[in-house]
Structure 1
Amino acid sequence: MRTLLVHQGEKPLIGILEDGQLAEVFFPQEGDTAEAVLLGRVERIVPGMKAAFVDIGQEKNGFLPLEEKNTGLSYPKTGDAVIVQIRKEAQGVKGAFLTRDISLCGETMLLTPMSRMIGVSSKITEDGKRKALKETGRAIAQERFGLVMRTAAENAPEDELAAEAERLFQQWEQIRRAAPTAHVPSVLMQPRSTLEAVLDDYRPRGIDQIVTDDPAVAEKAAGIAPVQVIPENLLTIYKIESQLKKAQERRVWLSSGGTLVIDPCEAMTVIDVNTAKFTGKRELEDTVLRLNLEACGEIARQVRLRNLSGIIIIDMIDMKTPEHRQMVLDALEEAFASDRVKTVIHGLTSLGLVEMTRKRSRPPLREMLAKQEEAHE
């Protein structure tokens, strides 16, 4: 059962709970700029980096790569006004990471006005469905723009896909028409709110109920799923604060008595599976298999909740048979199937370590919590 929890207040929070356990968490902040489309001015070209630094009206200039696939855009000159989108917000000493390859996000698709490529989410694996979605995308786009069909497009009627594409294209047309007379730097399109982005991602996956302490959110969410308004103690009732506290700990206990030890490093994250107090009553190999299979589900939940990304190495308890190793890899694939972030299980190394990668999207949980605390000091 999937529950969307929306808490408003001094420290707003949006959580996704699956079977009562927190699986993903978001902290809406005023001034979030990821996805915003801006009109900026090129301050400096760095030929050796094939990049430019662009004044976008923030404390630090944004970093803009100048060679991007499929856009066909020429190099700008110093002083030129350019339409850019924030891919990653400014962090630490680094300014925002920018792109000229604009993408406008909808529930079933991404529209890319600078490209003419038609793509399909890698989570859709059946060849027939991929081919059909590409053909549908080409028919809708008519060479006017590019599209990336999201997983939600798989079962969407064609007329709904066409309507969403047209809505996104008109959004781009408004941006394009506004740019020539807009002040530089300025915002041409505000990003989606955190709640809008979460609904776009999870509505197609299924939301069984929505709980909130804000009647305005309840009104907005009416029709998406059954809504319950709990005016007080929402976070306490769903044990959100205690779950967030545990998600910052290095050691995670499994219900069987085994443990996960999670160590984020500079270059990667390492997850170690240990037997700890776990003692199976069967033969050793079966005991190891049962614990590794149990660990797969909790690893997926912890990776999503902590928002771990980049290279992730998992040291499962050593298994002797190829059949058991494959069962564990299959279980890990299944556990990550509900992850909205692109995740790839690459397999086992010669040392028996599981290699996987997860796309970087937002900062890890620990950083988001620290940022929230700073914002309210």
Structure 2
Amino acid sequence: MTDRKIIANTLDPEEMRVAILEKGRLVDIFVERMWERQKTGEIYKARVDSVLPGIHAAFVNLGDGRNAFLYLNDAKGLDLKPNLEVVVQVVKAARKNKGARVTSRISLPGRYLVLVPDGQETGVSKRISNEDERKRLRSIAKKLREEGEGFGVIIRTAAEGVEEEALFHDLHVLLDLWNEISHEAEVQTAPCLIYRDIGLVGRVLRDELTGDVGEIVIDSEEEFHKVNEYLKRIMNGKELDVNLYEGNSPIFDFYGIERELETALDRKVWLRSGAYLIIDHTEALTVIDVNTGKYVGDTDLRHTVLDTNLEAADEIARQLRLRAIGGIVVIDFIDMEYEEDRQKLLHRLDEVFQNDRYRARIFGVSQLGLVEITRKRARPDVRSVMTRGCPFCGGYGWVLKEDTVAMHVKRFLRKVALSNKSEAMLLEAHPAIAQYIAETYLPLWEEELQRRIFIVAASEFAWEKFRLDVQGPIDIVERRVEQMEQWEAQIRVYRTTSS
């Protein structure tokens, strides 16, 4: 029985999710929201809107209300001019105020190959390192190119060890697809979409479906039938265990994925031994700190540290994959005195990243005892997909202490008191801040400022926000407080006992 499962939660069109489990544990999650559907890979029959010789580019109309950017280097062989119709593919989706980037050099990825209809070259993925296997695949690639009408063919990493028959089957699937796209390009009127990628579930199956996948489970009947049709086309007669989930509880709850997914957003990750990781993100890199935590080991300190670091290496590889973290990663492992132990750690890192689809490079242990890793950034990380900057802290990850906010409030009230001769002031603040001021400072402030001060606990206020609601004669402020308490039964107004 193979130990990998692919679980697809596609009941809600607003958000589709696909999880990969290995030995029952979540190792990868793919999320796509309805308004964020991946446009990369889509093919359009476009119309050139304008040519910009100064930057060697053109704007092309895709028909979706927003011009895309086509570099002249990505349109070799085309004499670009306004109103020219051209078939292009999105290579970089539009972001914020930037339009999509497109190319006229179409590429169609399959399970084992990438077909380049406008290309002449053959190639083998650099991640296939065995030279004998590379020679075998290069030889097959030449045959594929001859069979494929002279189109360019690139062998993907997944083709390593795969029989020639399966590679030819993949080629024919891609040729059929290209013929369909070519037909649409002939009959449709520009600008328009002529090919949309196969969707989240299809992409995951195409890229992740290997011989060790034991089961595919889907909770939507419509997607279940789509997947079966897609697999019939690409699997060349091989049967896969594809099941429709019909349980009473949500599919991600049943497989324990929802609970594990929540931990993918946690800053602290506990290891089974009692040690833990701290994962922090900056604009430039991701930093991971390894700590022994509750783990004290069974022998001496040297082995405790080594065991903790080796366990951490395993979990770090899993977390980078699960969280889709790319770019630069710096890891502060627990200091090891012996070079032999450092080499064992680097060897373990090489092992755990060996099967990572997104190429990771390990740069050894620096003079400061840090391990640096770079990992290809292939898709948005889970944190950016599922979270946003905190509206209370502004994305810093921290807020001002109660004392700090209280001092801001006091300085504001002093400024108000100096500007007029009002008898009382009514202030609104976050409930925790209002309570802190009332319990710590309120009588002192009233005596110092020679003003009656009322503080409303405003539940809708951000942590650091406060506002002067009213000031003036004591009877007017008290009347305002009474009105508030009448309108909102649950409102809390803090005041000194002398009121």
Matched, 1:89 2:72: no
In structure 2, the partner of 1:139 is 143
Partner SS for 1:232: coil
In structure 2, the partner of 1:58 is 64
Q: Distance in 2 between matches of 1:200 and 1:91?
A: 26
Tell me which of 5, 24, 29 is aligned to 1:20. 24
Tell me which of 1, 4, 18 is aligned to 1:2. 4
Contact 1:108 1:161 in 2 (8 A): yes
Partner SS for 1:12: strand
Give the C-alpha shift of residue 325 in structure 1.
2.3
Give the C-alpha shift of residue 367 in structure 1.
2.6
Contact 1:45 1:77 in 2 (8 A): yes
- Change beyond 3 A, Cα 1:138–1:87: same
In structure 2, the partner of 1:261 is 278
In structure 2, the partner of 1:179 is 185
Q: How many pairs does the alignment contain?
A: 369
Moved more, 361-370 or 12-21: 361-370
Matched, 1:332 2:336: no
In structure 1, the partner of 2:194 is 188
Matched, 1:227 2:246: no
1:151-203: CA deviation from partner (whole Å, max 9, x where unpaired):
33223221221232133134224433443553222112110121111111222
Contact 2:290 2:333 in 1 (8 A): yes
Partner SS for 1:249: coil
Contact 1:270 1:314 in 2 (8 A): yes
Q: Distance in 2 between matches of 1:53 and 1:193?
A: 27
Q: How does 1:193-342 map to 2 (within 5 A)?
A: 193-218=199-224, 220-221=227-228, 223-225=239-241, 227=243, 229-233=245-249, 234-342=251-359
1:284-324: CA deviation from partner (whole Å, max 9, x where unpaired):
33222211111112111111111111222222222333332
- Change beyond 3 A, Cα 1:61–1:313: farther
Moved more, 341-350 or 121-130: 341-350
Tell me which of 357, 360, 364 is aligned to 1:343. 360
Partner SS for 1:208: strand
1:66-103: CA deviation from partner (whole Å, max 9, x where unpaired):
335xx854573444333222223223333223233322
Q: Distance in 2 between matches of 1:73 and 1:359?
A: 31
- Change beyond 3 A, Cα 1:178–1:312: same
Runs of at least 5 residues in structure 1 that lack an aligned partner in the other structure: 372-377
Q: How does 1:33-182 map to 2 (within 5 A)?
A: 33-47=39-53, 49-67=55-73, 72-73=76-77, 76-142=80-146, 144-182=150-188
- Change beyond 3 A, Cα 1:348–1:82: farther
Q: Distance in 2 between matches of 1:278 and 1:77?
A: 68
Give the C-alpha shift of residue 230 in structure 1.
3.6
- Change beyond 3 A, Cα 1:321–1:118: farther
Q: Which amino acid aligns with 1:105?
A: P
Contact 1:211 1:230 in 2 (8 A): no
Q: Distance in 2 between matches of 1:218 and 1:178?
A: 27
Contact 2:18 2:201 in 1 (8 A): yes
In structure 2, the partner of 1:363 is 380
In structure 1, the partner of 2:370 is 353
Moved more, 259-268 or 58-67: 58-67
Contact 2:123 2:154 in 1 (8 A): yes
Give the C-alpha shift of residue 65 in structure 1.
3.5
1:39-79: CA deviation from partner (whole Å, max 9, x where unpaired):
223334455544433322334433334335xx854573444
Give the C-alpha shift of residue 15 in structure 1.
0.8
C-alpha RMSD of matched pairs (Å):
2.6
Contact 2:220 2:244 in 1 (8 A): no
Q: Distance in 2 between matches of 1:123 and 1:50?
A: 33
Runs of at least 5 residues in structure 2 that lack an aligned partner in the other structure: 232-238, 389-499
Higher RCO (C-alpha 8 Å, min separation 6): 1
Q: Distance in 2 between matches of 1:33 and 1:113?
A: 20
- Change beyond 3 A, Cα 1:213–1:158: same
Q: Distance in 2 between matches of 1:328 and 1:50?
A: 49
- Change beyond 3 A, Cα 1:190–1:285: same
Moved more, 309-318 or 74-83: 74-83
1:196-225: CA deviation from partner (whole Å, max 9, x where unpaired):
111112222521222332345555459312
Q: Distance in 1 between matches of 2:165 and 2:55?
A: 44
In structure 2, the partner of 1:374 is none
Partner SS for 1:67: helix
Q: Normalized against structure 2, the TM-score is what?
A: 0.67
Q: Distance in 1 between matches of 2:334 and 2:82?
A: 56
Contact 1:208 1:226 in 2 (8 A): no
* Bigger radius of gyration among the two: 2
Q: Which amino acid aligns with 1:139?
A: K
Contact 2:317 2:353 in 1 (8 A): yes
Contact 1:214 1:231 in 2 (8 A): no
Q: Normalized against structure 1, the TM-score is what?
A: 0.87
